[in-house]
């Protein structure tokens, strides 16, 4: 049966690349999966026609009693229909597994991108600190222009605090790279 | 005083220069953020993946022994790849969430610090700086912040969208294909469950079957309503995933033109459609 041949692809890569050839690209996998899916559709269609056929016979009886032999035939057809549906579902499951098997690399790449972005977000926060630092310096300059002690002292302490903040933000930069690897997925 | 005059001159000059920069260089990424947020929150796929995984549980009572044997194997296959289904979605959601943060305002909104600085200066009234100068100073810092941060932010969003688009499209395409397979499997489940009653109810014509037939009809009604509702969800989920894919592609195509009115409107429309689909899915 066609489905039995298709049981193979689930474990490895589908017929496209036998042996240890490179894994299929997502596009290749998708097109293989699509073919498998179409085969599944054909089986589903067959099951549908069996059902229609059975229902047509039943309707022809117009509510009258259906002879035992005909009932048995209808039930046998129903069983066949059911089995076909399961075989179709098998192909759908195979197609799904085939799609999924090709997605490791794109997922890895996207996760890397989000990690890069997280790093950028951290750096943007630091730009903010830098701006405040510049502002504090300007503040000190303004205070100095008055020649009065209290504003100058206030400005100096504000500046010092900002320098500390920048230092704290900047310090852990080197070890932060390996801190959150992709881990899973 | 010399120094003070000099300082106010610098502030004035800088305001003019930066003001000029800011009006052309500043880009609002609010629409990008809304699109990314709506994409990250779109429901449907996860729930339908679970439903797909649990197919056997639901269909088992209706199966013939021969069908049951195949169904059991199918079940094992579905269970085996379920985690992979979920991880695809998680990757896309993570990407969208990060894009949202990257395009977000809150993260870079430095007005707090600047306002704090402004009031600090006001407290230093004795310093002799005049109100006008303080205001200029504050707005200067605000501009400076926006110019530096938004330039950097734009580039970061650009990089992420440009480098991510191909993979995002691949994963979304996979999610769409999987959702379609879920729907087809569900269709076979529905026809298996309802099919028995189609055939058996007309066969049960004896008066002693009456109660059984009544119960069967009620069960049939419940089941067909359930499947009708579920069918709609596959459709909504597919629409949503397609919208996310299209929206991201548009974002990629217009990445250098995000300040354009039309582009912003378009992204907003995508975000709105996605929110609507999400609401429909959570009904």
Which of A86, A102, A118 is the C-terminal boundary of a domain? A102
Per-residue pLDDT of chain B in tens (283 residues, 90 and over written 9): 454 555 555 554 444 444 433 333 445 688 999 999 999 988 899 999 999 999 999 999 999 999 999 999 999 999 988 988 888 888 888 888 888 888 876 544 545 555 555 554 444 444 444 454 555 555 555 655 665 666 777 777 888 888 888 888 888 988 999 999 999 999 999 999 999 999 999 998 888 889 999 999 999 999 999 999 999 999 999 999 999 999 999 999 998 888 888 999 999 999 999 999 999 998 7
Residues from chain A contacting residue B194 (CB–CB below 8 Å): none
Residue identified by tokens 């006001």 is: B122
Assembly ipTM: 0.73
Residue B196 near residue A58 (C-beta atoms within 8 A): no
| Contact yes or no for B84 and A89 at CB 8 A | no
Residues A94 and A145 grouped into a single domain: no
Tell me: do A36 and A115 sit in the same domain.
no
The parent domain of residue A66 ranges over: 2-102
Please tell me whether residues A80 and A147 are part of one structural domain.
no
Residue B237 lies in a domain: yes
Give A69 to chain B, closest Cα distance, Å. 12
Decide: residue A18, CB within 10 A, 0-12 exposed, 13-18 middle, 19+ buried. Answer: exposed
Q: How far is CA B88 from CA A149, A153, B51, in A?
A: 62, 57, 16
How many CB atoms are located within 10 Å of the residue B57 CB? Answer: 9
Q: How many domains does chain B have?
A: 1
pLDDT value of residue A28: 82
Contacts of A87 in chain B (CB under 8 A): 70
On whether residue B10 sits in a domain, the answer given is no
Contact flag B124-A154 (C-beta cutoff 8 Å): yes
3-state secondary structure B142-192: HHHHHHHHHHHHHHHHHHHHHHHHHHHHHHHHHHHHHHHHHHHHHHHHHHH
My answer on whether A111 and A96 are in the same domain is no
Which of these three, A102, A131, A150, is where a domain ends? A102
Instruction: Tell me if B62 sits within 8 A of B270, measured CB to CB.
Output: no
Domain count, chain A: 2
Print the domain residue range for B97: 29-106+156-282
Radius of gyration of chain A from Cα atoms? 35
Q: Which residues in A lie closer than 8 A to residue B108 (C-beta atoms)? A: 124-125, 128
How far is Cα B235 from Cα B226, in angstroms, rounded to an integer?
15
Q: Residue B4 domain-assigned?
A: no
Q: What is the pLDDT of residue A4?
A: 41
Question: Which residues are within 8 A (CB) of A51 and not within 5 positions of it... i.e. 6 or more apart?
Answer: A78, A81, B191, B195, B198
Q: Which residue shows structure tokens 């579902």?
A: A89
Tell me the C-alpha distance between B271 and B264, whole Å: 11
- d(C-alpha B80, C-alpha B189), whole Å: 20
Is residue B91 a part of any domain in this protein? yes
In a domain, B119, yes or no: no
* A71-97 pLDDT tens trace: 888 899 999 999 999 999 999 999 999
Residues 197-216 of B with CB under 8 A from A: 198-199, 202-203, 205
Task: In whole angstroms, give the CA distance from residue A11 to residue A93.
Answer: 12
Q: Is residue A185 part of a domain?
A: no
Which residue among A106, A148, A155 places its CB closest to the CB of B171?
A106
Nearest Cβ partner of B192 from A82, A121, A124?
Answer: A82
Rounded alpha-carbon distances, angstroms, from residue B45 to A95, B38, B49: 17, 14, 6
Say whether residue B147 is in contact with chain A using an 8 A CB cutoff: no
Same domain for A23 and A94, yes or no, is yes
Q: Are residues A172 and A152 in the same domain?
A: yes
Residue A184 domain-assigned?
no
């Amino acid at each position: 049966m066609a489905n039995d041949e298709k049981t193979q692809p689930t474990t490895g890569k589908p017929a496209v690349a036998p042996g240890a050839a490179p894994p299929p690209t997502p596009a290749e996998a998708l097109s293989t999966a699509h073919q498998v899916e179409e085969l599944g559709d054909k089986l589903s269609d067959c099951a549908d026609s069996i059902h229609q056929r059975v229902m047509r016979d039943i309707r022809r009886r117009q509510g009258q009693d259906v002879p035992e032999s005909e009932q048995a035939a209808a039930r046998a057809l129903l069983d066949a229909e059911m089995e076909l549906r399961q075989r179709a579902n098998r192909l759908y499951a195979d197609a799904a597994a085939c799609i999924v098997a090709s997605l490791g690399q794109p997922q890895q790449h996207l996760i890397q991108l989000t990690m890069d972005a997280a790093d950028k977000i951290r750096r943007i926060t630091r730009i903010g600190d830098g701006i405040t630092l510049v502002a504090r310096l300007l503040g000190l300059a303004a205070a100095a222009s008055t020649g009065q002690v209290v504003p100058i002292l206030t400005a100096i302490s504000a500046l010092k605090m900002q320098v500390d903040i920048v230092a704290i933000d900047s310090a852990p930069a080197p070890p932060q790279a390996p801190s959150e690897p992709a881990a899973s997925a | 005083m010399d120094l003070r005059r000099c300082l106010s001159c610098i502030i004035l000059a800088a305001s003019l220069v930066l003001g000029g920069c800011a009006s052309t260089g500043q880009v609002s990424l609010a629409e990008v953020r809304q699109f990314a947020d709506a994409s990250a929150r779109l429901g449907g796929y996860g729930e339908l993946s679970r439903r797909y995984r649990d197919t056997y549980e639901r269909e088992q009572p209706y199966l013939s022994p021969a069908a049951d044997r195949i169904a059991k194997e199918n079940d094992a296959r579905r269970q085996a790849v379920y985690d992979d289904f979920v991880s695809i979605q998680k990757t896309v959601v993570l990407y969208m969430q990060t894009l949202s943060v990257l395009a977000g305002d809150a993260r870079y909104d430095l007005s707090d610090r600047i306002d704090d600085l402004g009031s600090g200066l006001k407290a230093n009234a004795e310093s002799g700086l005049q109100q006008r100068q303080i205001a200029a100073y504050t707005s200067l810092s605000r501009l400076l912040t926006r110019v530096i941060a938004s330039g950097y932010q734009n580039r970061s969003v650009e990089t992420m969208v440009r480098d991510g688009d191909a993979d995002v499209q691949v994963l979304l395409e996979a999610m769409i294909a999987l959702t379609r397979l879920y729907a087809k499997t569900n269709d076979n489940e529905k026809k298996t469950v309802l099919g028995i009653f189609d055939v058996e109810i007309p066969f049960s014509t004896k008066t002693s079957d009456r109660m059984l037939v009544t119960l069967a009809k009620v069960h049939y009604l419940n089941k067909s309503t359930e499947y009708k509702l579920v069918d709609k969800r596959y459709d909504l989920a597919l629409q949503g995933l397609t919208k996310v894919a299209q929206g991201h592609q548009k974002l990629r195509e217009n990445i250098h033109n995000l300040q354009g009115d039309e582009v912003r409107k378009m992204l907003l429309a995508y975000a709105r459609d996605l929110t609507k689909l999400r609401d429909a899915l959570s009904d």
